[in-house]
Structure 1
Amino acid sequence: MAKYNVNEIKGVIPALVTTFDMDENFDEKRMRALVDHLIGKGVDGLYLTGSTGEGFLMTPQERMKVVEVVVDQVNGRIPLIAHVGAIGTKISIDLAKQAASAGVDAISSVPPFYWKFGADDVFNYYKDITGSTDLPMIVYNIALAGLVGFEQVKRFSTIEGVAGVKYTATSHFEVMRMKEEIGNDFLVYSGCDEMAMSGLSFGADGLIGSFYNLMPELFIAINKAMAERDLKTAEEKQRIANIIIMHATQKNYVAIMKRALSWMGVDGGYCRRPFSNFGASEEAVLKDEFRLLRDKHDIKGVDFLDAL
């Protein structure tokens, strides 16, 4: 049973990585440790089995297992959003019903992808999934699966139970427009890590992103600074975050985050193929690169870099 009202789901919300062992099996022990680490860091919620969580590389049964484990480990300490997106509506409904039964606080979904579905098909996809549980739906707008325009989001907002959007796009003027035309209660989560400050400045209610797994302290500081209108601090923290993000995204950044977590004693495990992983020699090079980056830009106060 949900423990939080959707209007309480705000702040810094990592799009949680899924921990796999070297044989690509879900590693429950690693996942539980990562959840505790992030809660200890002060994150405001978790977003499960999404793109960063390699959700589309798992079977529905595996995704359900991840949700069950995370709900159990969190034990009501912070809100949880489960991504239930799939190409097929039936699969998404099955995932949504299980997530509701497990005890998450909201569900989310990318639009159906691969085939070129029409506007009514996508609308009915969200209507059917949202209607399958009592949980609020957060629509997921991302180029990887298919961007949905402002008018589509506005139409989705008419579905009973659709409470907001995870907006992973750079056109942040649309955030302000959503608040003005759909209503201030319609939640908008900024999904571009490198534009967290921008998303908040245009009225986003919270931040959902990948790099919050690795360096939540930077984004917690950005969120706090923006709330206090301390633009200088927010700008400096965003600058540091972007230096790291731009370097990491030249390679498989999810694998980088998982290895870098281990440098702080929190083993994020490995990625599933076809994503690549880092061997011991490659990881040694990766550490050297981050040390050089840290020293070149005189970066302090980023835990995974301080640990090197």
Structure 2
Amino acid sequence: MTNTALTGVIPPVCTPLTPSYEVDTGSLTRLVDHLVAGGVDALFLLGSTSEVAFLPDRHRKVVLDTVVGHVAGQVPVLAGVIDMTTPRVLDHVDTAVAAGVDAIVATAPFYARTHPAEIRAHFRAIAARAGRPLYAYDLPVSVHTKLGTDLVLDLAAEGVLAGVKDSSGDDGGLRAVILGRRERADIADFSVLTGSELTVDSALWMGASGVVPGLGNVDPHGYVRLVRAARAGDWAAARAEQERLFHLFELVTVGGTRMGGSSSALGAFKAALHLRGVIDHPTTAPPQIPLDEDETARVGKYLAAGGLI
């Protein structure tokens, strides 16, 4: 896998679970087939949308082995190695590399309060251990550290980072990284990916390389159409597709105040996949609160309005 290959639509793959909270490998392979048939450019396993924080190590390994074996090289597979500190992350790197993934995705360390020098050391250690492209996952809402523009670009210039997935919600910061990539002569082939489902057209207009959309599990075709329209310079079509997806994304709110935002969003994605016949069960990992029948029905209405059922 080359750095320049990571462009386009890279969905963070949901992890289907059985009612007893085991990985539903049959549903997982159907989901992968659904995404590949939708035209996605790569698959990102064990990210936030994959419920990585809830999965025991044995579940993570099942996901990696199942998907890498099933995809069999059709598209690149990226693996999240998200954990609190460098030694724990390096254990996940070993498992992912043994499974045969094409690239690694990691956040800054968390729980312990870290200095930028420690974050740099963290990413350098991961890259050295992995021996394959490493993508930084900028997720301050969860890890409580925003990756600075200079830190990201300096690590890119060193060859430590092959790209960044920006889920910070900071459009100015995203633009700063895009501009820095363009202006620095010591950086080449560095992928800047937005994690926002709702502003993909504007991110691509700024020069982003692609998108990592959780909603892309539900509607991969829509995000592929959006990116292809942008690549063709048809910004009106890209905007129209983005606005349809914007309204579809409202399904993440069905849980209201009865549960956490993650429970509502991940439950809605899985309910949508279940209603579309892709996965067998909409089970989410504990302690997340599951959607009830009324909330699931509301998800179905969003799917109908979006032309998906």
> 1:247 Cα deviation (Å)?
4.1
Q: What do the CA deviations read for 1:207-260 (whole angstroms, capped 9, x no partner)? A: 112011011111111101110110110111111111121342453111111111
Equivalent in 42, 55, 60 of residue 57 of structure 2: 60
> 1:34 Cα deviation (Å)?
0.8
> 1:184 Cα deviation (Å)?
4.3
Question: 1:70: which partner in 2?
Answer: 67
Equivalent in 282, 295, 305 of residue 269 of structure 1: 282
For residues 175-186 of structure 1, the aligned pairs below 5 Å read: 175-182=177-184, 183-186=187-190
Query: Does structure 2 retain, via aligned residues, the 8 Å contact 1:15–1:210?
Result: yes
Cα distance change on mapping 1:117 and 1:250 into 2, 3 Å: farther
Whether 1:208 and 2:229 are equivalent positions in the alignment is no
Unaligned runs of 5+ in 2: 256-263
Residue type at the aligned position of 2:278: V
Query: Does structure 2 retain, via aligned residues, the 8 Å contact 1:9–1:44?
Result: yes
Residue type at the aligned position of 1:188: V
Query: Does structure 2 retain, via aligned residues, the 8 Å contact 1:134–1:161?
Result: no
> 1:131 Cα deviation (Å)?
0.6
> 1:190 Cα deviation (Å)?
1.4
Percent identity, please.
26
Whether 1:153 and 2:165 are equivalent positions in the alignment is no
- Cα distance between partner residues in 2 of 1:208 and 1:229: 21
Query: Does structure 2 retain, via aligned residues, the 8 Å contact 1:60–1:91?
Result: no
Equivalent in 117, 123, 133 of residue 126 of structure 1: 123
Equivalent in 243, 253, 270 of residue 265 of structure 2: 253
- Cα distance between partner residues in 2 of 1:34 and 1:289: 20
TM-score (norm 2): 0.89
- Cα distance between partner residues in 2 of 1:48 and 1:99: 10
For residues 96-107 of structure 1, the aligned pairs below 5 Å read: 96-107=93-104
- Cα distance between partner residues in 1 of 2:298 and 2:163: 42
> 1:161 Cα deviation (Å)?
3.5
Question: 1:278: which partner in 2?
Answer: 291
> 1:147 Cα deviation (Å)?
1.7
Alignment coverage as a number of residue pairs: 293
3-state DSSP class of the match of 1:132? helix
> 1:281 Cα deviation (Å)?
4.5
Equivalent in 173, 176, 191 of residue 175 of structure 2: 173
- Cα distance between partner residues in 2 of 1:102 and 1:289: 37
Q: Which structure has more helix as a fraction of its residues?
A: 2
TM-score (norm 1): 0.89
Runs of 4+ in structure 1 displaced over 4 angstroms? 288-291
- Cα distance between partner residues in 1 of 2:72 and 2:35: 14
Residue type at the aligned position of 1:259: A
Cα distance change on mapping 1:196 and 1:175 into 2, 3 Å: farther
3-state DSSP class of the match of 2:217? coil
> 1:289 Cα deviation (Å)?
5.9
Query: Does structure 1 retain, via aligned residues, the 8 Å contact 2:17–2:282?
Result: yes
Unaligned runs of 5+ in 1: none
3-state DSSP class of the match of 2:47? coil
Residue type at the aligned position of 1:209: P
> 1:132 Cα deviation (Å)?
0.4
Question: 1:233: which partner in 2?
Answer: 237
> 1:288 Cα deviation (Å)?
4.3
Q: What do the CA deviations read for 1:74-113 (whole angstroms, capped 9, x no partner)? A: 1111111101121121121111122112111110101111
- Cα distance between partner residues in 1 of 2:252 and 2:270: 12
> 1:31 Cα deviation (Å)?
0.7
For residues 185-204 of structure 1, the aligned pairs below 5 Å read: 185-204=189-208
Q: What do the CA deviations read for 1:148-168 (whole angstroms, capped 9, x no partner)? A: 121221232244342111112
- Cα distance between partner residues in 2 of 1:290 and 1:69: 28
